[in-house]
């Protein structure tokens, strides 16, 4: 059995916040933000994670040509759902009318879509389910302290989605589908990027002092990313017996232009093979990879048999890389 991506979709909110807008709120400048990150603007939601996830999901289902009643599994990679329960995937199910689907969320911050994609792949390949919708959706705008210039300049909101179908024939004939992957986690370094906004609350406890906003050691996260991302890509390529030159696009988590440039350099690959959209959207966490994948797909840049690497990293710490044969 192979798990093949048969459709993609995405949604970003209409409201654009530019670097100049932020410079009116905190002591920063367009020049500083562009030089250090490559980000020019970001989108901010007024409706929340579920609404964005549903819009991206509808887009992907339409692109795949799959009726909602044929969906058997929905996984939403998010760490910023609108509520603790029900999960976002159940809300997407209700909005789509995908009554047969089993639904759950997966929390792995910016690695959320990648971890969800690999999870769906394993379910489909096992034969447990035949079709799956995988969504990456996040509202980082509600986790950042908008008076903290070291974090508020980085993030934006959005959602992206992919529809997968299992197929025995595709695997044997073309070797197409979501292929080898590697994933990793290091909870001992969780404090360098954290958001402790779900506080304990009961009559049995004293007053709580948790900040609620995201805290980040930017330099530590940067060092982690430039080391771990290329290493995980090299590992998955080795596992699959594929060379970097055979890869058409490296679809990396959109956190910082300098991180992506450093990975391209280390892998001795042309930077044109590393598409980016962070200039317009900033870091949209779990949405960044599927939004970029959808843009490339809709531009008609993907042909049958093209090899892609999808690679993400984020809070946890978490990271991973997956080979996809289109």
Q: How many residues does the chain have?
A: 326
In angstroms, what is the minimal distance from the CB of 225 to ligand ACO?
Answer: 6
Q: Which of 54, 60, 92, 110 binds ligand ACO (CB under 6 A)?
A: 110
- Please count the other Cβ atoms lying within 10 Å of the Cβ belonging to residue 266: 15
Place of tokens 């609404």: 51
In angstroms, what is the minimal distance from the CB of 36 to ligand ACO?
Answer: 4
CA separation (Å) from 154 to 20, 26, 31, 38, 94?
14, 13, 14, 10, 32
Of 19, 87, 103, 110, which one is the catalytic site residue? 110
Q: Which of 16, 18, 32, 86 binds ligand ACO (CB under 6 A)?
A: 32
Residue 251 tokens, joined: 């679809």
In angstroms, what is the minimal distance from the CB of 99 to ligand ACO?
Answer: 33
In angstroms, what is the minimal distance from the CB of 218 to ligand ACO?
Answer: 3
Show contacts with ligand ACO in window 256-315 (CB under 6 A). Answer: 256, 283, 285, 314-315
Q: Do residues 157 and 138 touch, judged by C-beta distance below 8 A? A: yes
- Spatial separation of the C-alpha atoms in residues 142 and 155, rounded to whole Å: 10
Residue whose C-alpha is closest to residue 64's, from 162, 169, 171: 162
User: Is there a catalytic annotation at residue 110?
Assistant: yes
Q: Which of 44, 76, 103, 221 binds ligand ACO (CB under 6 A)?
A: 221
Sign of torsion over alpha carbons 36, 273, 278, 134: negative
Instruction: Give the CB-nearest residue to ligand ACO.
Output: 314
Of 59, 253, 256, 297, which one is the catalytic site residue? 253
Contacts with ligand ACO, 6-25, as mask; x by CB under 6 A: --------------------
Q: Do residues 78 and 107 touch, judged by C-beta distance below 8 A? A: yes
User: Is there a catalytic annotation at residue 152?
Assistant: no
In angstroms, what is the minimal distance from the CB of 25 to ligand ACO?
Answer: 11
Residue whose C-alpha is closest to residue 5's, from 97, 92, 116, 159: 116
Place of tokens 């034969």: 127
Q: Which of 218, 261, 262, 266 binds ligand ACO (CB under 6 A)?
A: 218
Contacts with ligand ACO, 61-100, as mask; x by CB under 6 A: ----------------------------------------
Angle between helices 112-126 and 288-298 (to 10 degrees): 70
- 174 binding ligand ACO? (CB under 6 A): no
In angstroms, what is the minimal distance from the CB of 289 to ligand ACO?
Answer: 12
Q: Do residues 4 and 170 touch, judged by C-beta distance below 8 A? A: yes
Q: Which of 10, 19, 28, 59 binds ligand ACO (CB under 6 A)?
A: 28
In angstroms, what is the minimal distance from the CB of 22 to ligand ACO?
Answer: 8
Residue 38 tokens, joined: 């490559």
Is-cis flag, bond preceding 9, omega within 30? no
Q: Which of 147, 202, 219, 304 binds ligand ACO (CB under 6 A)?
A: 219
Instruction: Determine the interface stretch with ligand ACO among 124-132, 158-166, 175-183, 218-226 (rule: CB under 6 A).
Output: 218-226
- 172 binding ligand ACO? (CB under 6 A): no
User: Is there a catalytic annotation at residue 90?
Assistant: no
Residue 143 tokens, joined: 């986790």
Q: What is the DSSP string of 194-258?
A: EE--S----TTS-------SEEE-HHHHHHHHHHHHHHHHHHHHHHHT--GGG-SEEEE--S-HH
Q: Which residues are catalytic, by number?
A: 110, 253, 283
Q: Which residues bind ligand ACO (CB under 6 A)?
A: 28, 32-33, 36-37, 109-110, 149-150, 153-154, 193, 216, 218-219, 221-222, 255-256, 283, 285, 314-315
């Amino acid at each position: 059995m192979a798990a093949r991506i048969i459709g993609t979709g995405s949604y970003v909110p209409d409201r654009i916040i530019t670097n100049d807008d932020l410079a009116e709120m905190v002591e920063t400048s367009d020049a500083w933000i562009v030089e250090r990150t490559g980000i020019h603007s970001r989108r901010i939601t007024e409706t929340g994670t579920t609404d964005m996830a549903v819009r991206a999901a509808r887009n992907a289902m339409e692109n795949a040509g799959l009726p909602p009643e044929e969906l058997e599994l929905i996984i939403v990679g998010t760490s910023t759902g609108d509520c603790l329960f029900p999960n976002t995937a159940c809300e997407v199910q209700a909005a789509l009318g995908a009554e047969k689907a089993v639904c759950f969320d997966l929390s792995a911050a910016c690695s959320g879509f990648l971890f969800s994609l690999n999870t769906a792949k394993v379910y489909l390949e096992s034969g447990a389910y035949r079709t799956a919708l995988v969504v990456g959706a996040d509202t980082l705008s509600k986790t950042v302290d908008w008076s903290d210039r070291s974090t508020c300049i980085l993030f934006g909101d959005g959602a992206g989605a992919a529809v997968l179908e299992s197929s025995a024939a595709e695997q044997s004939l073309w070797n197409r589908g979501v292929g080898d992957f590697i994933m990793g986690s290091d909870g001992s370094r969780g404090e360098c990027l954290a958001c402790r906004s779900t506080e304990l609350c009961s009559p049995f406890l004293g007053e709580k002092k948790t900040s609620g906003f995201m805290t980040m050691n930017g330099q530590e996260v940067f060092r982690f990313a430039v080391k771990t991302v290329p290493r995980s890509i090299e590992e998955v390529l080795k596992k699959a017996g594929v060379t970097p030159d055979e890869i058409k696009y490296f679809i990396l988590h959109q956190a910082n232009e300098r991180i992506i440039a450093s990975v391209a350099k280390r892998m001795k690959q042309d930077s044109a093979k590393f598409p980016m959209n962070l200039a317009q959207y900033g870091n949209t966490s779990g949405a960044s990879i599927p939004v970029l994948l959808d843009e490339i797909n809709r531009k008609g840049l993907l042909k049958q048999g093209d090899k892609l690497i999808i690679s993400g990293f984020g809070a946890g710490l978490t990271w991973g890389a997956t080979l996809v044969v289109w």
